[in-house]
Structure 1
Amino acid sequence: MIHYEHFILDNGLEVYVHEDHSTAMAAVNILYNVGSRDEEENRTGFAHLFEHLMFGGSKHIPSYDEPLQKVGGENNAFTSPDITNYYITLPSVNLETAFWLESDRMLSLSFDPKVLEVQQKVVVEEFKQRYLNQPYGDVWLKLRPLAYTTHPYRWATIGKEISHIEEATLEDVKHFFYKYYLPNNAILVVAGDVTVPQVKALAEKWFGNIPAGPKYVRNLPQEPLQTASRFLETEAKVPLNALYKAYHMPGRFEDNYYTADLMCDILGRGKSARLYQKLLKERKLFANINAYNTASIDPGLIVIQGNLNANVSLEEADAAVKEILQELVETKLAEEELSKVKNQAESTLAFSEVELLNRAMNLAYAANAGNPELVNYEAEKIQAIQTEDVQQQAQNILKETNCSTMYYRALA
């Protein structure tokens, strides 16, 4: 259970405080309600580019990392299709340093053309290294637009193409900043050895005078129901043939999300899962295989992926995967198998809440979705799932008409 208190500044900044006096540390997490799904189709990769730019100096602080390191702090950030998240951990006695740093870059970046140029080069190099020059690196550049035809999840967080990053102008950057990097489009969570009055005073002091901007109302094109199977074949110099199958599933905070997630675990979580046991261990078709879900706020994907053994054809492997999925659709699930994945899910949940920073992040993520209490309902929702619920989700999701399949052939 994550206990918290909540208040909102006059400029719209939502603040959550989670007190934990068993530690001498504090975590400061600020989530901006912008991800790659909010980008324009001809200007993708901006949310991720901004993650880099936010460390390039702000109005009164030319170097972000140096003052934080002097007080024993650490920081990082990540971008997803749904959010951009920045976080700091530091000794709680130095809490105000985190407020000073985060408020200054919310107030205004330096907008130094040299910083933009440097970070563009960094992101372009990341694009090349991680997505273009690495075996299987371009999978999501191909699989997303296969699975999504309309929703902006159809491009990867890094962007659709390098030119979108290379051609970004300072005016483009300023427009993006002043649309999304606003106190009324952010959630601040402060956790650890802190008090509510202390956080209120610091929030008012450092964030209270930052002006709000126009309220961002998200109005994204929704993905239509997939009614026919999709297929793509590609090839590259990779070690082994690989199979990818993507199925649309409910969004992260929808009612059936946890059921679909457990169904995914039954198929592909760990060495006791069905796909591993039957297709890798018994039939030796795959060198590795797993299943996972994208856990996105809007309807996401369950992805089954595996690298084939050298003497196995993609057609044979695909047919074998379909057999395993059909068993789950047609045959009643044993209580013992469901209990196992429930216990795994609850264990993961419990371990995630050991870390102070994870608690802060989880609280911010749920609050951004509209209900911070969601973080405290998860175990209850997981335990309430019955075997027939899982089979129902298997029947709804694991249909060929809901599937996008990609064959990734290894060039000789």
Structure 2
Amino acid sequence: MISFEKHTLPNGLKVIVHQDKVTPFAAVNVAYNVGSKHENPDRTGFAHLFEHLTFGGSRHVPDFDTPVQQAGGSNNAFTTVDLTNYYITLPAQNIETAMWIESDRILEPAFTNEILSREKKVVIEEFNQRYLNQPYGDVWHLIRDLAYKVHPYRWPTIGSTPDHVAQATLDEVKQFFYNHYAPNNAVLVLSGNIVPDNAFRLAEKWFSEVPFRELKNPPRQPEPEQTENRELTVERDVPMDAFYIGWHMGARDADDFFAADLLSDILSNGKSSRFQQRLVKEKKLFNELDAFLSGENDPGLFTVVGRVNPGIGFDKAKKAVLDEIQKTVQEKPLDYELEKVKNKVEAHLLYHEVGYLDNAIQLANYELLGDAAQINEQVEHYRKVTPDDILRVAGKIFREGNMNTLNYLSKKDGK
């Protein structure tokens, strides 16, 4: 059980405090409800670009790294399709340094054309290196674009093309800041060896003067139900043939999410899982075979990824996977099989409860999802899943017409 207290400042900032007396450290975590799904289709990659821009300094703190390091801490950030998250970890007695930095980050943008030009080059280089020039690098651009036709999950966090970042103007990125970086669009979590009353006092001291802002999100349409299977085949300079299959499923807060997560574990989590035991170890069809959920806040994808061993027929290998998938639709898992993956999930969740930074990030994420208290309900949700639930959810996800297949083939000699 992760205990916490929660207050909301007059400007709309939600403040959560989790006291952990075991550690001498503390984490200051700020999550903003802005990710790549909040971008305009002709200006993708802005949320990630903005992480770079705001990480380089603010109006009154031109360099974040120096004061953080002088306080004995470290800082980092990440962007997803749903949110942007910044965090600082440091000795608990120096927590006010982190509060000063994070309050100034949200107060006012400080970047110039020179800073924008520099960070655009960094992001474009990252795009080229990780997504265009790396084996299998464009996979998620292709599979997302195949699976989504309306919802902004159809492009990854880096953006749909580097051209959008290259064309970004200073006025556009400043407007992006004022549209999304607001106390009423954020969650501040203070976690570690801190006294709650003191933590709330510091939050009010440093964040109460940040003004409430009118949020401006582009319209976001729900993805229509898919009724026909889709398939795309490409050839690339890669060492092995691979396939990526995505089925639409419910949102992160949907009742069926936990059953779907356990279903993915039954298929591929651990050496005794169905995929690993039958298709990797016994039949030796795959170099790599995995099943996982995208885990996004809006309805996401149940994905299977397979890299086929050399000398194995591509269609044969893919059929073997689909045959295993079909079994989940026709037969309930055995009780011991379900209990095994439940135990693994519970152990994983309990292990991460001991980390003050993990707790800070998860509390913020769940608060943006609807309620931070959900962090203490996860184990019970998994425990309640029955074999009948697994069978029912498998039938919903793996229905005919809901499949998106990317065949990612190695170029043959001479092509």
Calculate the TM-score normalised by the size of structure 1.
0.98
User: Which runs of structure 2 are paired with 1:22-101 in the superposition (5 Å)?
Assistant: 22-101=22-101
Residue 302 (structure 2) aligns with: 302
Per-residue CA deviations over 1:221-271 (Å, capped at 9, x if unaligned) read 000111110000011100000011101111111111000110111112222
C-alpha contact (below 8 Å) 1:185/1:216 kept by paired residues: no
User: Corresponding residue for 2:312?
Assistant: 312
In 2, the alpha carbon distance for the partners of 1:309 and 1:230 equals: 24
Counterpart position of 1:293: 293
Aligned residues: percent identity? 47
Residue pairs, 1:236-255, within 5 angstroms: 236-255=236-255
**Structure 2 segments unaligned to the other structure (5+ residues):** none
Deviation at 1:217, TM superposition (A): 6.3
Task: Report SS of the residue matched to 1:66.
Answer: helix
CA deviations on 1:116-167 (whole Å, 9 max, x unpaired) are 1111011001001110111001000100010111100000100000100101
Give the partner amino acid of 2:239: P
In the other structure, the counterpart of 1:5 is 5
Q: How does 1:171-190 map to 2 (within 5 A)?
A: 171-190=171-190
Cα offsets for 1:252-293 (capped at 9, x unmatched): 111110001101111122222111211111111111101111
1:36–1:45 CA contact under 8 A, matched in 2: yes
Q: Which sits farther off after the overlay, 210-219 or 115-124?
A: 210-219
Query: What CA distance in whole angstroms lies between the structure 1 residues aligned with 2:331 and 2:58?
Result: 59
SS in 2 for 1:401: coil
What code does the residue aligned with 1:383 have? Answer: R
* Structure 2 CA distance for aligned equivalents of residues 60 and 241 of structure 1: 52
Query: How far is the alpha carbon of 1:399 from its aligned partner?
Result: 2.2
* SS of match in other structure, 1:41: coil
Structure 2 CA distance for aligned equivalents of residues 342 and 247 of structure 1: 23
Please name the residue that 1:263 is paired with.
263
Matched AA of 1:235: E
What is the TM-score normalised by the length of structure 2? 0.98
Distance in 2, matches of 1:405 and 1:57, equals 43
How many residue pairs were aligned?
412
The equivalences for 1:4-403 within 5 A come to 4-215=4-215, 219-403=219-403
The whole-number CA distance in structure 2 between the counterparts of 1:66 and 1:142 is: 40
Supply the AA of the counterpart residue of 1:228. Answer: E
Query: 1:341 is aligned with what amino acid?
Result: V
Q: 1:72 to 1:107 in 2, by over 3 A?
A: same
Cα deviation for residue 353 of structure 1 reads 1.2
Specify the code of the residue in structure 1 equivalent to 2:71.
V
How much has 1:348 moved relative to structure 2? 1.1
Change (3 A) 1:297 1:74: same
Is 2:40–2:218's contact at 8 Å kept on the other side of the alignment?
Answer: no
Moved more, 140-149 or 193-202: 193-202
Show structure 1 runs of 5+ residues with no match: none
The runs of at least 4 consecutive aligned structure 1 residues that moved more than 3 Å come to: 215-219
Matched position secondary structure for 1:221: coil
